[in-house]
Amino acid sequence: MAEAIAFYVISAFVLGFAIMVVSTRDTVHSVLFLVLDFLFVAALYVLLNSPFLAVIQILVYAGGIVVLYLFVVMLVNLKRPPEAHQDPHRRTKLGLGLAAAVLLELGAIAGASYSSPAPAVAATAANIPVTGNTEQVGWLLYTSYLIPFEIASMLLLVAMIGAIVLAKREL
Amino acid sequence: MSAVDTFFIPLLKIVIVLNATLVAVTYMVLLERKVIAWAQSRLGPMRVGPYGALQPVADAIKLMIKEDITPVKADKWVFTAAPIISMVPALIVYAVIPFGPEVSLFGRKVALYITDVNVGLLYIVSVASVGVYGIILAGYASNSKYPLLASLRASAQLISYEVAVTLTLVSVIIMSGTLSMVGIVRAQEHAGVWYAFIQPLAFGIFFIGGLAETNRAPFDLPEAEQELTGGFHTEYSGMRFALFFLAEYANMIVVSSVATTLFFGGWLRPFPNIAALGFLDIVPSWMWFLVKSFVFLYIFIWVRATLPRYRYDQLMRLGWKVLIPLAIANLVITGIVRVVMLGAGG
Amino acid sequence: MLLSAALFIIGVVGVMVRRNIIIIFMSIELILNAVNINLIAFSAQLQNQVGQVFAIFVIAVAAAEAAVGLGIILAFYRNKETVNIDEMNLMRW
């Protein structure tokens, strides 16, 4: 019961902050709301029995990526005041129309899946010999999902080099 | 578990730890001034109270009655929130630091730590990375060039050294096999020797990184008075400035506590497995912890009094080109050794 | 799941409506987060840890994409001094 209340409260915050991110005029405030959003999403993960992922979310997403965004925002904002947000209304209508289309599609999928129950997931869960959330994730990462793991690290390496090259002033 | 166990005892622990931390932080200020003074052949604060012991009280009163100035075009919410964002992570790390094992107090088993999360160590690292925001936002909210630039430099310094520190922590995790802080101390108890002796390089990198992370000398360029007119907290006065100041000392204490737990056995007495030294058990476990943390704090201050300041580019070069490769090398060697040990030992 | 759908929609709206490119990027992060929530919710319900593993990959990819994307923004900004998408039409000379 308490869990349900916690879930709804956290969800309300998550959605509220997300709306603030998208609608605030000031870019810096937007970034701050994004951080708060991520923190609450991490709380949600804890509620969903994934403390490891919650901490990773705070560490990488909230503590790393958003800091990066904040840096760029500040470097960009150094010379100009926050932009005036003139809004051609057709753009807004297009955006909302697209959102409605996505909503309809999601609703259709949800309806279809409720009518026919999903097939049982393969019993990968039974094969993990260690307990404790972190250990389970680690086990899976290193055994069944080793190749994606390696590819992900290559991706990160490439991204790192790319970012450095892009941001250098002279080559 | 009765309601008392699950609610009141943690609450009591939180209250005790928070109060102790805040008092400790304020006295850190005095300690630092005294130690630096002694290093420079003078006496430090002596007027207020016996040998200057009440100096923090005088400082606190002074800061609280100072006028609270907010720059005109600054962003009020962010300006107020920045010191809080700096202080809160430093304080909530204490939720997972173990001061001692379970003891029986008043007929009831009480564990001398607030909680033992399974991912305790990662929690500490992630909370530390959130602390960077306080500095960035302080510089931004001041709405003037110098604090902004200083804060960007300071936060760049912080996130650079975060990488090196996190890598050394992974070496510790490989050795101990668990992320929970209590588990790491128990692993050291099991191994019979503190990790500082098995992993001296990791400890060294952790300590240097800790110096850089808390903006302490010799890496305190962002807040030195002679540079950039006071750095990112130029525009702050009174209570808010006090919060920044205290947050820095609180961070120092956190780094010392974490170093004690990870590398020096936490609450264990020296040589915990040799029964012949059992007479050392008279000293309670938390006392060992406090003594060890205190030694680190002293080293922090000692380093500040002794070493000259690093220039910013030297600092960044040190972090990226020296510490990170060393940390990675340490990690690889640790991994190899551990696998060999496990393979041989079974 | 409803939550993640709602978050997804907010992100999509953000991408469409705002013209400051940094905010567009942040809305993309929102979308990715919504996907992550979905993955982890399923993982919790089915008692299967694969969802969490995948979520870690999503976070890693998001980090890589954010880094490169911000690098692009910075390079662009140095040349054109704007973060307004409507003015970023280099291909239309």
Q: Using one digit for the tens of pLDDT, what is the confidence trace for B282-321?
A: 566 677 778 888 888 888 888 877 887 777 777 778 778 8
Q: Which of C17, C57, C68 sits opposite A92 (nearest CB)?
A: C17
Rounded-to-10 torsion of CA B183, B186, B191, B195: 70
Q: Residue A112's pLDDT is what? A: 65
Share of chain B above pLDDT 70, in %: 72
- Taking CA atoms, B20 is separated from B23, B28, B91, in Å, by 5, 12, 11
- Residue B335 confidence (pLDDT) above 80: yes
Q: For chain A, say whether C36 makes contact (Cβ under 8 Å).
A: yes
Q: Where residue B109 falls among pLDDT bands split at 50, 70, 90? A: low
Mean pLDDT of B75-97: 78
Contact indicator for B44, B52 with CB cutoff of 8 Å: yes
Residue B303, classified by CB atoms within 10 Å of its CB into exposed (0-12), middle (13-18) or buried (19+), is middle
Chains B and A touch (3+ CB pairs under 8 A): yes
Q: What is the mean pLDDT of residues A123-143?
A: 58
Counting residues of chain A whose pLDDT is more than 70, the rounded percentage is 57
Looking at chain B, list the stretches that DSSP marks H as alpha helix, in order from N- to C-terminal side.
3, 9-39, 55-64, 76-92, 120-141, 145-176, 181-191, 195-198, 200-213, 239-263, 285-306, 312-317, 324-345
What confidence score (pLDDT) does residue B8 get?
Answer: 73
Asked, for residue A102, whether it belongs to a domain, the answer is no
- Going from the C-alpha of A43 to that of each of A2, A49, C33, C37, the distances in angstroms are 14, 10, 13, 11
**pLDDT value at residue B31:** 80
pLDDT reported for residue C5: 61
Chain A residues with CB under 8 Å of B167 CB are: none
Q: Looking at A20-24, A98-102, B175-179, B316-320, which range is the least confident one?
A: A98-102
pLDDT of A57 > 70? The answer is yes
Chain centroid, CA A105 distance in Å: 21
Q: Do A32 and B119 touch (CB under 8 A)?
A: no
Residues 228-287 (B) with a CB less than 8 A from some CB of A: none
Calpha distance C12→B241 (Å, rounded)? 41
Taking CB atoms within 8 Å and a gap of at least 24, the contacts of B283-289 are B284/B100, B284/B103, B285/B99, B285/B100, B285/B101, B285/B103, B285/B112, B286/B99, B286/B100, B286/B112, B289/B98, B289/B99, B289/B100, B289/B257, B289/B260, B289/B261
What would the mean pLDDT of B315-334 be, rounded to a whole number?
82
Within an 8 Å CB–CB cutoff, is residue B132 touching chain A? yes
Nearest neighbour of A22 by CB, restricted to C13, C25, C48? C13
Q: What are the structural domain ranges in chain B?
A: 61-345
Strand-pair partners of B295? none
Which ipTM was obtained for this model?
A: 0.74
Residue whose token pair is 């200083």: B150
Q: Do A49 and C44 touch (CB under 8 A)?
A: yes
Is the Cβ pair A51, B159 closer than 8 Å?
A: no
The reply to whether A120 falls in a domain is: no
Please report which confidence band the pLDDT of residue A119 belongs to, taking 50, 70 and 90 as the band edges.
very low
Query: Which chain A residues are within 8 Å of C61, Cβ to Cβ?
Result: 152, 155
Q: What pLDDT, on the 0 to 100 scale, is given for residue B1?
A: 46
Q: Determine contact: B122 vs chain A, CB below 8 A.
A: yes
Assess if residue A135 is contained within a domain: yes
Domain count, chain A: 2
Kindly state whether B328 is in contact with chain A, defined as any CB-CB distance less than 8 angstroms: no
A136 and A68 in a common domain:
no
CATH number of this structure's domain C2-85 = 1.10.287.3510
CA distance B121 to B101: 17
Chains in contact with C, counting 3 or more C-beta pairs less than 8 Å apart as contact? A
| pLDDT tens per residue, range B184-225 | 777 777 776 667 777 788 888 888 888 877 777 677 766 665
Q: What is the pLDDT of residues C58-73, one digit of tens each?
A: 777 787 777 777 777 7
What is the rounded distance in angstroms from the CA atom of residue A68 to the CA atom of residue B140? 15
pTM exceeding the 0.90 threshold for the entire prediction: no
pLDDT score at C86:
57
The minimal CB distance from C14 to the residues A22, A137, A155 is found for A22
Residue A21 Cα, gap to closest chain C Cα (Å): 8
Interface check for C22 against chain A (CB to CB < 8 A): the answer is: yes
Of the residues B6, B7, B119, the best mutation for testing chain A's interface (the one with the most A CB atoms within 10 Å of its CB) is B119
A70 occurs within a structural domain: yes
**B9-52 tens-digit pLDDT:** 777 777 888 888 888 887 787 788 788 787 777 776 666 666 66
Q: Which residue has the higher pLDDT, B243 or A119?
A: B243
Q: Which of B187, B199, B169 is nearest to B265 (CA)?
A: B187
Mean local confidence (pLDDT), A102-113: 67
The two beta strands, B102-105 and B108-111, are: antiparallel
Mean pLDDT of chain C: 69
Structural domain boundaries enclosing A55: 1-82
Read off the pLDDT of residues B262-284 as tens digits, 9 standing for 90 and up: 887 776 666 665 555 555 565 66
Q: What percent of chain C is modeled with pLDDT above 90?
A: 0
Interface of C with A in 40-79 (CB under 8 A): 40-41, 43-44, 46-50, 52-53, 55-57, 59-68, 70-75, 77-78
**Which of B66-70, B251-255, C79-83 comes out lowest in average pLDDT?**
C79-83
Label residue C13 by pLDDT band (50, 70, 90).
Answer: low
Contact list, A64 vs chain B (CB under 8 Å): 129, 159
Same domain, A72 and A145: no
pLDDT for residue A134: 62
Average pLDDT over residues A93-107: 68
What's the rounded Cα separation, in Å, for the pair B174 and B98?
Answer: 20
Residue A100 lies in a domain: no
The reply to whether C1 touches chain A by the CB within 8 Å rule is yes
Q: Mean pLDDT, to the nearest integer, of A47-56? A: 78
Is A104 inside a domain boundary? no
Q: Write down the pLDDT at residue B23.
A: 81
C78 pLDDT more than 60: yes
Q: Does A47 touch chain B (CB under 8 A)?
A: no
Q: Which of B134-138, B244-248, C20-24 has the lowest mean pLDDT?
A: C20-24
Q: Return the number of other C-beta atoms located less than 10 Å from residue B137's C-beta.
A: 28
